[in-house]
Amino acid sequence: SRIYGLTIYKLSLHASMRNWCRVSAVKIGLKITLVLLVVAICYTILYFQLFQPKTTVIRISGSTTVYPLAVKWAEEYMRLHKDIKIEVSSGGSGKGITDVLAGLVDVGMSSRDLKSDEINRGALPIPIAYDAVIVVVCINNPVLSELQVKGIKLSILKEIYSGLVSNWEYVIDKDLNGDGFISINATHAININTGSIEGYSAPIEYEIHPYTRAEASGTAETFAEKIGIGDQELLTGIKVVGNPGMVVAVRDDKLGIGYVSLAFAYGEAAEGVEPIPIDFNEDGVIDEGERLDNYDIAIENIVNGKYLLSRALYFVTKHKPTGMVKEFIKWCLTEGQQYVAEVGYVPLPEEKVHESLKLIG
């Protein structure tokens, strides 16, 4: 029995040792696997830090006019440069200039000339394309055919946005309802028999509904300056946001009148509204340089300087741009100009391209 017990004890000892070896091997294997996993993770992180290109983010904000062009440029540039990410947001020229001066973005967008105080704070305006401000009315406007032929005299446009004229009868110089008066505004009219201005209660069916911009807008600033009012804040009208908001408001109001940038006056973006020529010399005739029959004619008159509501569009940086921001703007001024007309604006002439390139150094 002693021999039997000793045998059992030896067998049990051998089994225990085998189990201990198995457990130890598993533990060692797990430790080795864990170490290899940690090494692999560390190597991967190190590889991406050392060898993978870092993404550079360029932030742009500002003018709703420049926004479609900036988005197009951003898309094309990112397609060519996978390590660059460009974020574009709108909000008006004033916001773009404020943002870039505050360091919130790398590039501001402006559809107006910069003010002296903005330039004194380090803002650098870089012309990138040309545009124009176009007056639009609803396609269902009751005097649309007359407006297309005669346009709107510049002085009357100013009076509309100063609140002095508020009836379409006066704009086209015609008694539309046959009451013997040409309404000027809600309280006065011209007696067509005597030619005198008399007190009068104007018919609301021909009342003018002017629309203007709510935000700090380069389009509104340019419009106010060019028609002789001087400042956006002095424009009378129902306030709307952005070029798209202006198109929608005028489209939905047959008595409405508004103003938009070139890209929103023609094509799909202008559905429901019609561009109206301005009689700049007030001779009662729409001259060749005042015509806006279609996009091509408008472009021709903008390029040759005959359309007086034309303007430059700008990228704005705080001091001279550097690094990737500079390279992006340089591309916009050279290869990127091929996309300007596609978006609906006017490319810079070659000499203006060189001037802008000199600005960024």
**Residue 152 and residue 280 in one domain:** yes
User: Encoding tokens for residue 2?
Assistant: 């002693």
**Residue 222 and residue 292 in one domain:** yes
Q: Report the chain's mean pLDDT, rounded to a whole number.
A: 89
Q: Global pTM?
A: 0.75
pLDDT at 32 over 70: no
Q: What is the tens place of the pLDDT at every residue in 161-200?
A: 999 999 999 999 999 999 999 999 999 999 999 999 999 9
**Residue 192 and residue 301 in one domain:** no
Residue 6: pLDDT band with limits 50, 70, 90:
very low
Residue 215: pLDDT band with limits 50, 70, 90:
confident
**Residue 192 and residue 270 in one domain:** no
**Residue 194 and residue 253 in one domain:** no
**Residue 169 and residue 211 in one domain:** yes
CATH of the domain at 213: 3.40.190.10
pLDDT of residue 5: 47
Residue 95 has a CB neighbour count (10 Å cut-off) of 23
> Which amino acid makes up residue 25?
A
Residue 9: pLDDT band with limits 50, 70, 90:
very low
**Residue 138 and residue 223 in one domain:** yes
**How many domains are there within the chain?**
2
Q: What is the tens place of the pLDDT at every residue in 111-150?
A: 999 999 999 999 999 999 999 999 999 999 999 999 999 9
Cα separations in angstroms, 164 against 160, 208, 237, 248, 256: 6, 11, 12, 25, 16
Q: How far apart are CA 118 and CA 115, in angstroms?
A: 5
pLDDT of residue 154: 97
User: Length of the chain, please?
Assistant: 361
Question: Of the candidates 136, 144, 125, which has an alpha carbon nearest to the alpha carbon of residue 66?
Answer: 125
Q: What is the tens place of the pLDDT at every residue in 83-97?
A: 999 999 999 999 999
Q: Residue 188's domain spans which residues?
A: 174-203
Q: What does the pLDDT average to over 11-32? A: 55
Domain membership flag for residue 35: no
Give the lowest-confidence range in 44-48, 204-208, 217-221.
Answer: 44-48
pLDDT of residue 4: 46
**Residue 152 and residue 269 in one domain:** yes
pLDDT of residue 33: 65
> Which amino acid makes up residue 92?
G
Q: How far apart are CA 57 and CA 60, in angstroms?
A: 10
Q: How far apart are CA 265 and CA 310, in angstroms?
A: 13
Q: Which residue has the tokens 């060519």?
A: 80
